[in-house]
A and B are shown apart, each in its own frame.
Chain A
Amino acid sequence: MALEVSHVVGGYSQIPVLKDISFDVKDGELVGLIGLNGAGKSTTINHVIGLLTPHQGTITLNGVTIQQDSQAYKQQIAYIPETPVLYQELTLREHLEVTMMAYDLDHEQAWATAHELLKTFRLDNKLDWFPANFSKGMKQKVMIVCAFLTQAKLFIIDEPFLGLDPLAVNDLLNLIEERKQKGASILMSTHVLDTAQRYCDRFVLLHDGQVKTEGTLSELQAALPEAGESLNDIYLSMTKVDRA
């Protein structure tokens, strides 16, 4: 059991956005976090990466909580934010170097991985560029390269598919698959449901700060037989119940 989120109540202020949320991500599993704008996806992610502290409940990553040992906890996580954030004063090369230093990676080995990743995402001739010169998609690719440079056990990817070109989306999915084979877990939030349906092993459907349902696609189909076949249909019917 890589990530275990158990009865988490939390949010940005005293008013909780998340109301008693529980789910898990197992080793070698890709879990899709699905929900409308404002359902609590980003809040959940912010709790997992340690940006927010839960009011109640615990988040355990391979037996460690952030309170017990923040460094050991964070060491296992690689994060790709929805909106790319970069250090304005660092070049691409230096971003990679900072990542290597922060995660205490072996530089030679990490650079070998880095060059491969850079080539895949066609950034290998831009090592001396500043973030100001990158387009949004390029910045997103930098985030991906930095994250997959690490040997993290849990990858947290916030809405990766918007803004990336189709080739990059494909490359990213291949990378995810490769890391899954090596036993890493991935928690991914997205609105692109047909892609999610094809690649995720399990889904956590968030609605209004609560876990509406969770399970594999067939489990979801069994739970809501009249909703339809696709994740899209299931999801729409689920939110409709709430609107009615």
Chain B
Amino acid sequence: MTALFKTRLQRHLREMAKYLRLVFNDFFVFALLFLLGGLGYGYSNMLKTLRLGVWWAPVVVLIVLTIVAQIGRFATLIEDADRVFLLPKERAMHAYLVAARCYSQGLAQATQLVAVFLLAPFISVTMGWTVLSIIELGVAQVILKDTLLRMDLASAYQVTGQTRMNRWEFKWVLSLVVLAVGLWTLPLVALGLAVVVDAVVLAWFSQHWQSQQIRWREQIKIEDNRMLGIYRFFNMFTEVPMLTGTVKRRRYLDGLFKLIKPRHDHVYLYLFSRGMARGTEFSGLVVRLTVIGMLLLYFVRGAWLPVVLAALFIYLIGFQLLPFFQQYDSVVFTHVYPILPAQRMHSFVTLMTLILSVTALLLWIVVAIANPHLITAGVTLLVEVVEVWYLARIYTPQRLTRSIENRG
């Protein structure tokens, strides 16, 4: 069973390495270095302005460390088929899960240590702690994380319907209590408390797991969600084939959809608009990029920079929406319905114009608010109108027609 986990882990790490290479491309690393450099510089400047004994310092440390303690999930690498194929091996799965927890420790504990390391100068400046005290706090944090992961492991066995140990409320309260004790009394006390709690959980678990069943369905769901989160992150940088997105009803949009009259030439507008809005994949992309764009434009000043940024965001959104045209190619009715392909294209162009216009309007409003000069706002509006028109009406049909020809 440990061998099974090892082979799975290797496959998992290979896959992660493949995506990480794509994420950390030259451009991104460059941007990241700048960002980290800037943040580090800002942090060191801020430290210089602080004095010993500011009252809110331990509160900040408490909040930061409590949040950090929740980072790093229990990675089981369990797959859907396991509940059929590994069911006869349920008792032996324990070794597998223990190996999984062992692996999960790596990244989780590294995160804890980095967090404590980064906070160390802040603690020493504002709270006057010695290096030894900070190390004690670090060890307490690591043991705390160990307990949290142990609770995740124990919860894999708990009976459905039973209150589970790894409820987020329990985790947060435990972290808050242990860390608060350490910050307001002595770090050594927190260390002792963490050890006691860890031992209690360990003792309870080692007595109970033999008589319990693994909660296969829940564990599979948890692992699926974990992987989904990872894939979502990668999806911001590159195409991830495993990501299909989910469907939300979004009843509040029904009024908008009603505006599309049920006519023969509106079949695809009807389908595309609902598919786009209710599927989380593309709607999420549009919303994310629009919000990021609006935030960025709010803080950016200058004569030309807002214009360029607004144009860039509209282009990014428009470009990433193009694959949606093929979204329903796998549904046979897309080909069987008596509808001319030209109508499908026309509907897509209409939808594209609509979405990009709304985005453009939102971005423009922010530019108009953030920049007192009427000229900047005016130029932005002009550029946006031309861009939306060209991108949706000229470029989209051209490019999609070409890709259809290439494929068929």
Contact = CB atoms under 8 A, between A and B. Distances in A.
Given A71-B339, A89-B279, A81 B332 contact: yes
B264 interface: yes
A94 interface: yes
B271 A98 contact: yes
- How big is the B interface, by class? 20 to 34
Contacts of B247: 88-89, 130, 132
A101 B335 contact: no
Contact of A50 (B264, B278, B330, B336): B336
A104 interface: yes
Contacts of B204: none
A145 to B, nearest CB: 13
Interface string B139-152: 00000000000000
Contact of B275 (A85, A87, A102): A87
Interface string A81-111: 1000111111000100110111110010000
B262 interface: yes
Interface string A59-98: 0000000000011111101010100011111100010011
Contacts of B340: 70-71
Contacts of A102: 264, 267, 333, 337-339
B203 interface: no
A103 B332 contact: no
Contacts of A100: 262
Contact of B331 (A70, A74, A86): A86
A74 B338 contact: yes
A15 interface: no
A90 B336 contact: no
Contacts of B279: 88-89
A85 B263 contact: no
A51 interface: yes
Interface residues of A, number: 29
A104 B264 contact: yes
Contacts of B274: 89-90, 94
A49 B333 CA distance: 10
Most buried by B among A77, A98, A101, A130: A101
Contacts of A71: 338-340
Interface string A223-244: 0000000000000000000000
Contact of B267 (A50, A72, A101): A101
Contacts of B337: 74, 102-103
B91 interface: no
B328 interface: yes
A89 B247 CA distance: 6
B18 interface: no
Contact of A51 (B249, B263, B271, B332): B332
Contacts of A130: 247, 249
Nearest to A73: B338
A94 B257 CA distance: 11
A64 to B, nearest CB: 11
Contacts of B263: 101
B270 interface: yes
Contacts of B264: 101-102, 104
A195 B253 CA distance: 46
B393 interface: no
Interface in B274-317: 274-275, 278-279
Contacts of B267: 98, 101-102
A89 B338 contact: no
Given A101-B267, A101-B270, A75 B338 contact: yes
Most buried by B among A77, A89, A97, A98: A89
Most buried by B among A74, A90, A98, A104: A98
A39 to B, nearest CB: 20
A98 B301 CA distance: 47
A103 B262 contact: no
B279 to A, nearest CB: 5
A177 B271 CA distance: 32
Interface in B230-280: 247, 249, 262-264, 266-267, 270-271, 274-275, 278-279
B294 to A, nearest CB: 26
B333 A101 contact: no
Given A74-B336, A87-B331, A101-B263, 13 more contacts: A49-B336, A85-B330, A88-B279, A89-B278, A94-B274, A97-B270, A98-B267, A100-B262, A101-B262, A101-B267, A101-B270, A102-B264, A107-B262
Interface of B: 247, 249, 262-264, 266-267, 270-271, 274-275, 278-279, 328, 330-333, 335-340
23 contacts: A50-B335, A51-B332, A51-B336, A71-B340, A72-B338, A74-B337, A75-B338, A77-B336, A85-B331, A87-B271, A87-B331, A88-B275, A89-B274, A90-B274, A94-B270, A98-B271, A101-B264, A102-B264, A102-B267, A102-B333, A103-B337, A130-B247, A132-B247
